[in-house]
Structure 1
Amino acid sequence: MTDDLLDGPGEAVGRVLGTADATPLTFWTAVSPGSYLQLDDVVVTRRELPDREPVTIAGVVTQVRARHEGAQFDSDVFAIADGTLPAQVQEAAEVTTTRVDPELYVPPTPGAAVFRAEGDARARALHFDRMERRIPMGMGRDGVPVYLNADFLDGTRGAHVSISGISGVATKTSFATFLLYSVFRSGVLGGDAVNAKALIFNVKGEDLLFLDHPNARLDDPTRAAYAKLGLDAGAFPDVRVYAPPRVGDSSGTPDVSSRLTGVDSFYWTLSEFCADRLLPYVFADADDERQQYTMVVHSVAAHLARYAQPADGGVSIDGVRLGSYADLVDHVVEQLNDDETRGDWAGGAVGLGTVNAFARRLIGSKKDLGRLIRGDLATRRPHSINTAESAQVTVVDLHNLPDRAQRFVVGVTLKSEFERKEKAGTAKPLLFVVLDELNKYAPREGSSPIKEVLLDIAERGRSLGVILVGAQQTASEVERRIVTNSAIRVVGRLDPAEASRPEYGFLPPAQRQRALLAKPGTMFVNQPDIPVPLCLEFPFPAWATRVSEAGRPPSQTLRSITQSADPFAVVGSGSSDDDIPF
């Protein structure tokens, strides 16, 4: 095994440095004249031992330095440059060990030859040879594919992905969608990938509404990059898009501007709202749980579930028919203001001030949730978001909704999806949930119904086949248990203050600095198999990321599109060319 690791490793690039301490986990190598090493290069060396087989040590370059040997003062650099003072330029590279074969942890010998790891030697140094199922993630700095161990993504040995970086620069959503594309199209998951589902919440513009459209800007170099990763460059073949109804539209037309066809409206009927006890998700801000009126929330929700009866699309409570969410809110507030009925609705131990605080908050929700909770669209189908009956990729558009409505949709949708998986009692098929702005839905401080659902997914989702792909600007502000349960951690461009937080302790110091300069498309990926995060670049999306890039999709992927319909009749996705991910 040792001989295999060093067999044909590549060119000799230097020797283990003798003027710096070499340890089994970190050592420096002097770079040979005419050679070079850059950050993220993979190297390998060998340590000879008496009466034992040699130990082969492989690692990744995590720092590179150059200096004048023979210079004493800073000003000597000018004399050396003029040729009046003899000196030699010497480069050295710090190497962080990634693999030792056999596992005998001894330091490399100063002066031992160091080789650039290529081919099978590189794959073994990065543990790719131990990955039975390898998902391509992108290209390393050496232009060779980098892989993710599927066992740590699909729940076999771990699950969940955490992606952090500056909004608009770190390309978090682009990487998340590329990872999904690679999972579905690489064939690594076999039949599981065919049946797997993805639920994507679109929170910024309408960029994710065209995943089933090929990117018109796709060129031959990009196709070649996909081919090098073992992927065909193209759009997602099976996509279904949901959007909220337009404000004030009694017909329930989806509220999108750039994609006029192939979009379904989603909403909840008043009957569903009452029977499924969805009222707590109206109060889904983490600050709400700190207020005393939360006990009123649950008491009212229980009362609605017990007494609300379906009636002509709306509901009937105590003989009063309510046809809209505003009617329901007004009825609840009226009952809470009545001294005779207040105790039945809110409980006898609740003070009037607490009841009033609840009522004010509930009244304020009428404007935000009126178009989502309906009593006039009960006969329209489909209106429920159910990934089990949807396409392979389900996109839920939230960008036109106010913050309270976004929280309601995310919370209720995740709750229903997780409950369906619990009832099924099996991890297959897999469900990948892509959620941006995770720090808003699962903040470190406070509690909320959404946060509880996300914690459930993070801690129990692996056994049920629910995989969370969460993205956030600041991992330091996300609930710690969600971050720590993520087997895969990805970092793009970081803010300097955020990079200093302990949540990024898995990054070596040099990579923390580089994360401040990372260009769009560059990510640092940490996975359990490899002790050092790998720097990679993933290719430009082969699917449209805005209406201006959208080519015509395959006809079988469009739902509710007639032959004469023009899916691109209206241009304007709400995003500009400044948002191009690369």
Structure 2
Amino acid sequence: MPVDPSDPGPAVGRVLGTADATPLQFWTAVTPGAYLQLDDVVVTRRELPDREPVTIAGVVTQVRARHEGAQFDSDVFAIAEGTLPALVQEAAEITTTRVDPELYVPPAPGAPVHRAEGVARAQALHFDRMERPIPMGTGRDGVPVYLNADFLDGTRGAHVSISGISGVATKTSFATFLLYSVFRSGVLGAESVNSKALIFNVKGEDLLFLDHPNTRLDERTTEAYGKLGLPADAFADVRVYAPPRIGDASGTPDVSSRLTGVDAFYWTLAEFCETGLLPYVFADADDERQQYTMVVHAVTAHLARVAVPAEGGVSIQGKRIGSYGDLVDFLVEQLSDEDTRRDWAGSAVGIGTTNAFARRLISSKKDLSRLIRGDLAQRRPHSINTSESAQVTVVDLHNLPDRAQRFVVGVTLKSEFERKEKAGTAKPLLFVVLDELNKYAPRDGTSPIKEVLLDIAERGRSLGVILIGAQQTASEVERRIVTNSAVRVVGRLDPAEAGRPEYGFLPPAQRQRVLLAKPGTMFVNQPDIPVPLCVEFPFPAWATRVSEAGDAPTGTLRSIVQAADPFAVVGGRGRPGSRISDDDIPF
């Protein structure tokens, strides 16, 4: 739809005649008294004989200013003193985003260039073609910027990759804001009620209060949400899972700040054996390079055949086993005996290989004993199942060691993906938010977790499983996962990382800008728009730390909040709460 020629917006300059103008890029001289900044949207027209005019719209990707009339560097002083005549001239580089109709001719030198506003801006950035735009923040001009839902929910693409320095790039904050916008903007229609989100919390108790309103929310932030067409509120439906405390026979969730609305998650010994979870004990990418992996798979298969559920654990070959430590000791005993090793590991496996397996299995007892239980089978619901949970399920991992975190992530993703496969339909959608993706799906090596994540990246779109992955360095993440992400987001980057080819979609000026990006500023690349857009998203409307959690339960949590912040104001209606991270807050 062409721009209305009667209202193209204010003129800010003319197409430069001293630099080459091409259909895809040109320069404009800025009118004295006017200005253009990076990310401004402009439009110009090219008149053609015997054809309708061509409208060329673009985004400012570079701006420069210079003295015209100066020959030497020192002339700047004489010009400033008024003893040498010269003119200050600014010029802006424009990268074309849309040509309408699609007749690729360069703009004519001297043609007026207008700042695109209203309908002209929406057309220049292809927002008018988006049937379901998702608000993801505002541009540098303070006007909303949108993401095409077709490239998020699997209609034409799926998955989001977010990169940036930890604690500065606000990756988790942007991921949760994007989820909030998806659920509350109405773009999913009736499906928004049934769509789910699975979030793994790895940094402190960062995300345990997503359903608490932020007590620091002010009128300005509320207006920012209103500008995006969103209510300034917390997530409406959240359920939190945490691991049991070490040595606690009752299975109390291991959290310190949120004391209500938290369930403990674990796996029974019977589930561990029947569903073949042993490979996820060896979930490091380096493990798969070792020969003992053949023992892992042989033992997993034999366990599934011989383990029988029993009260308080499992029974194997007539022996009752009631804890993960007992299971490990039993397996090591079987592999150490010449008569039983062949049944468990196969005839082709040597003693050195089984010993390597046994050493690593023994070292897992300390990390996994509280997650794989025989004593809690009938105590309470313990399975992480998003289809039976709230709209947003938060799985807290921050108190777990690295091996246990890998186990939980791998097994949970495996079960959720298998559940979607059995359902055989893409609806309802499941959004998976996973930070530290470079740890779970590194570029080199292989592991059970990496295989599951690759499956999600390559087949998840058709099954309605959408991965929102965050990492400090996209260059260290498996390429197939990054390339399958239709939407790529970049926050503040390290200079060495910004030079990697994974960020080739950023124009040169934006590669420099990501080194300076402030918290809350992201550069978003989506297939609809040829230039990444600079986006500023608003301060979270949900609590980002304990002291910000409004409507907190009365009692113990109140004292915890006031101990952390004596001046905190805490509500008391008894609704469980919301949180992002002290390290990952956007402002």
Q: Deviations over 1:333-363 (max 9, x none)?
A: 0000000000000111011111000000000
1:21-32 matches, cutoff 5 A = 21-32=20-31
Q: Deviations over 1:226-252 (max 9, x none)?
A: 000000001001000000000111110
Is the 8 Å Cα contact of residues 443 and 477 (structure 1) preserved in structure 2?
Answer: yes
CA distance in 2, matches of 1:158, 1:576: 30
| C-alpha spacing 1:351/1:461, structure 2 compared with 1 (3 Å) | same
Q: Secondary structure at the match of 2:420?
A: helix
Q: 1:579 Cα shift?
A: 5.5
| C-alpha spacing 1:10/1:576, structure 2 compared with 1 (3 Å) | closer
Q: Deviations over 1:109-163 (max 9, x none)?
A: 0000000000000000000000000000000000000000000000000000000
Q: Secondary structure at the match of 1:90?
A: strand
Q: Do structure 1's residue 107 and structure 2's residue 101 form an aligned pair?
A: no
Match of 2:568 in 1: none
Is the 8 Å Cα contact of residues 507 and 533 (structure 1) preserved in structure 2?
Answer: yes
TM-score (ref. length: structure 2): 0.96
Q: Secondary structure at the match of 1:208?
A: coil
Q: 1:401 Cα shift?
A: 0.3
Is the 8 Å Cα contact of residues 2 and 54 (structure 1) preserved in structure 2?
Answer: no
Q: Secondary structure at the match of 2:560?
A: coil
1:86-101 matches, cutoff 5 A = 86-101=85-100
Match of 2:507 in 1: 508
1:87-486 matches, cutoff 5 A = 87-486=86-485
| C-alpha spacing 1:144/1:485, structure 2 compared with 1 (3 Å) | same
CA distance in 2, matches of 1:9, 1:386: 52
CA distance in 2, matches of 1:337, 1:124: 71
Structure 2 counterpart of 1:581, from 568, 581, 586: 586
Match of 2:558 in 1: 568
Q: Secondary structure at the match of 2:558?
A: coil
CA distance in 2, matches of 1:30, 1:98: 19
Q: What amino acid does structure 1 have at the position aligned with 2:259?
A: L
CA distance in 1, matches of 2:448, 2:207: 26
TM-score (ref. length: structure 1): 0.97
Q: Secondary structure at the match of 1:179?
A: helix
Q: What amino acid does structure 1 have at the position aligned with 2:542?
A: W
Match of 2:488 in 1: 489
RMSD: 1.3
CA distance in 2, matches of 1:577, 1:351: 50
Match of 1:557 in 2: none
Q: Secondary structure at the match of 1:286?
A: coil
Q: 1:545 Cα shift?
A: 1.3
Is the 8 Å Cα contact of residues 323 and 372 (structure 2) preserved in structure 1?
Answer: yes
Q: What amino acid does structure 2 have at the position aligned with 1:303?
A: H
CA distance in 2, matches of 1:441, 1:137: 27
CA distance in 2, matches of 1:574, 1:182: 17
Q: What amino acid does structure 1 have at the position aligned with 2:558?
A: F
CA distance in 1, matches of 2:187, 2:7: 28
Is the 8 Å Cα contact of residues 61 and 93 (structure 1) preserved in structure 2?
Answer: yes
CA distance in 2, matches of 1:493, 1:286: 28
* Pairs aligned (count): 572
Where does the alignment leave 5 or more consecutive residues of structure 1 unmatched? 554-560
CA distance in 2, matches of 1:575, 1:94: 38
Match of 1:556 in 2: none
CA distance in 2, matches of 1:343, 1:570: 56
Q: Secondary structure at the match of 1:328?
A: helix
Q: Secondary structure at the match of 2:457?
A: helix
Q: Secondary structure at the match of 1:439?
A: helix
Q: What amino acid does structure 1 have at the position aligned with 2:403?
A: R
Is the 8 Å Cα contact of residues 30 and 92 (structure 1) preserved in structure 2?
Answer: yes
CA distance in 1, matches of 2:155, 2:583: 40
| C-alpha spacing 1:579/1:123, structure 2 compared with 1 (3 Å) | closer
CA distance in 1, matches of 2:356, 2:543: 46
Is the 8 Å Cα contact of residues 154 and 462 (structure 2) preserved in structure 1?
Answer: yes
Q: What amino acid does structure 2 have at the position aligned with 1:486?
A: S
Q: 1:577 Cα shift?
A: 5.7
Q: 1:565 Cα shift?
A: 5.1
Q: 1:8 Cα shift?
A: 1.4
Match of 2:539 in 1: 540
CA distance in 1, matches of 2:365, 2:268: 15
Is the 8 Å Cα contact of residues 9 and 119 (structure 1) preserved in structure 2?
Answer: no
Q: Deviations over 1:444-469 (max 9, x none)?
A: 00000000000000000000000000
Is the 8 Å Cα contact of residues 269 and 313 (structure 1) preserved in structure 2?
Answer: no
CA distance in 2, matches of 1:155, 1:569: 45
Q: Deviations over 1:183-222 (max 9, x none)?
A: 0001111111111000000000001000000001000000
Q: 1:567 Cα shift?
A: 4.0
Is the 8 Å Cα contact of residues 207 and 547 (structure 1) preserved in structure 2?
Answer: no
